[in-house]
Structure formats: C-alpha cells, structure tokens
Structure 1
C-alpha cells in the first residue's frame, strides 16, 4: 500500500475513512488507528477548495486541481516566492483525493462520499434541513420531518401523491398552502396566491437545494363550474422550483404558475374553491 507523508508527519493511506470536524481538522481512521490532518493539505492552492483529480504539484510542494491549472497564466506556481517552476502530476495525492471518503454530516444520512465531492453532496442531500418559519417557531429538519411538524403543530393540510399519476383536489382559496407527500418521502408544496383578479397556483419541491440530477416536471389543470364545462386552464414545466422554507413561498413570484381566471373559481367570498388536477413526475 502506498502512503503519503504529510508535512505534519502523519501517514495517510488511500481508502482511509475521513470525518470532517468543526474547524480545519479531519479525523482519519484505518482499523484501530486514528490520525488528524489539516484540511488545507487536501485543498487546492489556487481555488482553495478540496482538490479534484487529476492533482498536480509544483516543485515547492503546492498542490492544485488540473482544472485550475488550465486557467493559470504561464503555468507557474503563484504561491512560491522564488518560483516553484511548473506543475507535474502527483499520483500519490491523486490516490488520496480519489479514494478518501467522508461521511455526510446531516442527521439520518448514511452516505460516504469522496472528500472533494462532499460540499456538492452536502447541499443536495435529501436529509439537508428545511425550515419552519411560522411566527415564533424555529424547527429545522429534513423535508419529511418538516411535513410532520407543519401538519401536527401548525395544522397544514397534507395529501398523498404518486409520481406520474393525477391527483384531484378541491382547494379552498382561504387555505393558500397545503403539502403533498410522495411515495418516496418527497415533499411538495401547493401554494395559491392572487395576482390582480387572477388566482395563481404553483407547486414547489421542499428541499434544501436543487439537484441537477433529480428534477420534478409537473402539470396542473383547473376546471370551472358547470356553466364553463369543457373549458380548462393548463400549465406544465420541466422542473418545479425548490425551497427550504415553505411558508415563505409566494405564488405570484414563482416562474411556474397556473393562471386561474374568475370564471374558473367556485363559490364566492370566503367559500371560494378551486377544482385542480396535479401531476408530478420524477426524472
């Protein structure tokens, strides 16, 4: 097995499991042996983010990502006061950053990802916390936990939805927010607003951040009373918006909305209702 001797004198082996501590230390474990190493040793000296393979090193020992070197004028190390010369591939460090893993710090997530992919995973992790912003409430938790909290403590309505299948709802305009729970634990917000005399409706995915690898196309329809039978409003999108704070979502400001004219609203005053069909897909 190949070892890399760090400037701290700690030996680090490829395949080592790593846990990020608060501050700038990593705890590395192999069998019953543990060691700590400064995270800066695994960071690029050009972008100051975790090194991504292929890794290169100058004569002065400074490491850099291959992608960063492409944008480096002259290919000379800017960290070396007396000139460290050009960069050459560093296979030992390549092995470290390609195989060393770190456990996601979000509660409930058991994923171990390579060190340089941790930040991307951390922001897109389905266990990343979302927030209740009801007045006086500071609850934070993953989307399913937030749904349970909002339903139990704040009486938000909840409906079950299956991907690819149409859900029909009769929605009181006086209840502008309700939650949709998918079969895989995904949580969506159905939100209603008013834009001049037009009622607007939208669907939002409740998660900490948008993941490019997981999108939710959606379609919505609104049906009018019997006197406008056969006429419906419809809208679709390739990907719904995401939010980590469902109470702060304002339907009128969303890019994907269903516009429902007064002719398609049932009742009057506080008893106004919408007859909606919603379909969410998972891509």
Structure 2
C-alpha cells in the first residue's frame, strides 16, 4: 500500500475490474491553500492523504504503474499506450476472447494527479506515481555502500564522503573540473588497493580513485548506476621514476567516460570500460605512484590537447 496525494474534487469511479479504495486521514494531515479564481473570487483548494491498493493501477501488459494516456478494454483491463501499440491487432491479451481498447480520458487526469514522495533520505521530491521507479533509480540521494571491507555504512554520496573521511581517514582531494590535479597513491603493504576520494567542486559529486590488483588505475563516480546526467570523463597520467631511472616517462589514458556505482568498493578496476594500466616497473621503483588527472563533465567546453 502506498500513500499518494490527490485533489479531493477528482471523480473516482468504480470501473469494471478497477476498485479505488480511499480513506481520509485526520484533519492534521490535510493541507489547504487559497487560490484566486478568474472571476476574482477566493476559493479553497485542498489536498488530502489517501490510502489505496496501487496495484489496481498497474498496466495489464507490463504489470508496471500505468502511464497516461490510459486505455481500457471492454472487460476493464487497463493498458499503457506504449504497451497497447505492441499488442497484436491491439486487442486485450488478458480477456479470454480478446477485446478492443478505448481511451479513458478521465483516468488520464486521475493518474497524472497521483504524486508520491521519493523514499530516499534527503531527497524529499514528489514525483508522479508512475515515474517513481525511474526517479529513484537515478536519484542523487540513492543509498551508496561504504568502500571498506566489513563496514556496513550506507548513505547518500555526500554522507558516504563524510563517513570515509571521518571513520576511515581516507584522503580526499578537491577537484575543479577542467583543471590538472597532481595526485599521489601511497603503495603500502597495509593498503592492498590504494585509493583516494575526489570531491567535485561546483556540484558536490564524489568520486573514488582506486588502483586494482593488477596495477590498473581508474575512477568511479559514487552515485546511482543508472544516472545519466551529469556525465563525467577523466584523463589520467602516471609518471615514471625520474632520472637516472631507465623507466623514465609517463603513461597516458585519453579522456574517457567515468563509470557510476553505488558499491564503488566492489568495482573490479580491470573490468571497467576504461582504466590506466601502470607498468610494474613504475611501482617497484618507489613507494608512491605519482599521477595527474583531469576530471570534467563529459560535455564540457574544455580543450585537453
């Protein structure tokens, strides 16, 4: 059962196969606001919290929350328009003998008025009910898991940033997009996978720079995997030992997209779409890996030549 917000003046009908059960909360749960009509008269518009079985508003084809425009067959089965156009002859597959669908405009208004609050702590956004799953899959407050083995902390990317700094003393570097940043990963026996945090200035995004077991170095954005915006890219360079070492030089990774994950500590660096492979000679010559990175929005206006 889910709580939704719906204007009380919306007509809710009992349709064939669709029963909407509503019950009002107490007066303290009601919200009232004053609106001015076109005639200049003041009218009161109220919102109330109701409880209903939201599965009654699922599409009979995809079994997900139905999206407007809403269609209904002769037996009362509902279908999204996008699902309907994929049905053979556009007839209901739930009915025993099949039947055609008709557009139910009154349900369009009802479905569009249903809003729910995002369940993720710190978000507070109200979104249309049928968009809740899509919103939560990309929400910037989607819970992320601590990178350290045995730690059960879960929180938003910003909360995880504070946790890693305070509880695990993980080094953090503030980065400005489009600028070169000199970094150093300490190669200690007690730290099998050297890592540090990158804190993006401007949009407060959090990244984990980590070295894999085979010497690969990459960056992971700590956020929902499905997030599509903003997109990020990174350019990495590992510097070899200075003269008179025979391995003097540098290894460069061209600007590549950054992968996102809510479990950055479990990411296998060498399995990412892009990473910088550091030669063993670079690691054996000294105890620290000196590198440089440029982190930016993928669609930025910077020239990295």
TM-score range for the pair, normalised by the shorter chain length? 0.7 to 0.9
Q: After the TM superposition, which residues 175-214 of structure 1 pair with which residues of structure 2 at under 5 Å, given as runs?
A: 175=191, 176-183=194-201, 184-195=203-214, 199-214=215-230
1:144-166 alpha-carbon deviations (Å, 9 max, x no partner): 11121122112221111122222
Partner of 2:12: 4
Q: Kindly indicate whether the alpha-carbon contact (under 8 Å) linking 2:231 and 2:297 is maintained by their aligned counterparts in 1.
A: yes
Pick aligned residue for 1:46 from 55, 61, 70: 61
Tell me which structure has the larger Cα radius of gyration: 2
Alignment deviations for residues 13-42 of structure 1 (CA, whole Å, 9 cap, x no partner): xxxxxxxxxxxxxxxxx8363322211222
SS of aligned partner of 1:276: strand
Query: Secondary structure in 2 aligned to 1:122?
Result: helix
CA distance in 2 between counterparts of 1:180 and 1:255 reads 20
Q: 1:194, 1:141 → 2: CA distance?
A: 27
The two structures have a TM-score, normalised by structure 1, of 0.82
Gaps of 5+ in 2: 1-8, 24-44, 299-305
Q: Secondary structure at the match of 1:217?
A: strand
> What does the per-residue CA deviation read over 1:104-155, in whole Å, with 9 as the maximum and x for residues that have no partner?
1111002111111110111111101011253432111001111211221122
Task: Give the conservation status (yes or no) of the 8 Å contact 1:4–1:11.
Answer: no
CA shift at 1:265, angstroms? 4.2
TM-score for the superposition, normalised by structure 2: 0.77
Out of 254, 261, 269, the position equivalent to 1:243 is 261
The secondary structure found in structure 1 opposite 2:108 is helix
Query: In the alignment, is the contact (CA less than 8 A) between 2:241 and 2:248 conserved in 1?
Result: no
User: Is it true that 1:143 corresponds to 2:161 in the alignment?
Assistant: no
What 5-or-longer segments of structure 1 have no aligned partner? 13-29
8 Å CA contact 2:177, 2:200 repeated in 1: yes
- Pick closer, same or farther for the CA change 1:107–1:57 going to 2, 3 Å: same
Pairwise CA RMSD of aligned residues?
A: 2.5
User: Per-residue displacement from partner, 1:176-211 (whole Å, max 9, x unpaired)?
Assistant: 11111112221100001242xxx3210011113231
Matched residue count: 259
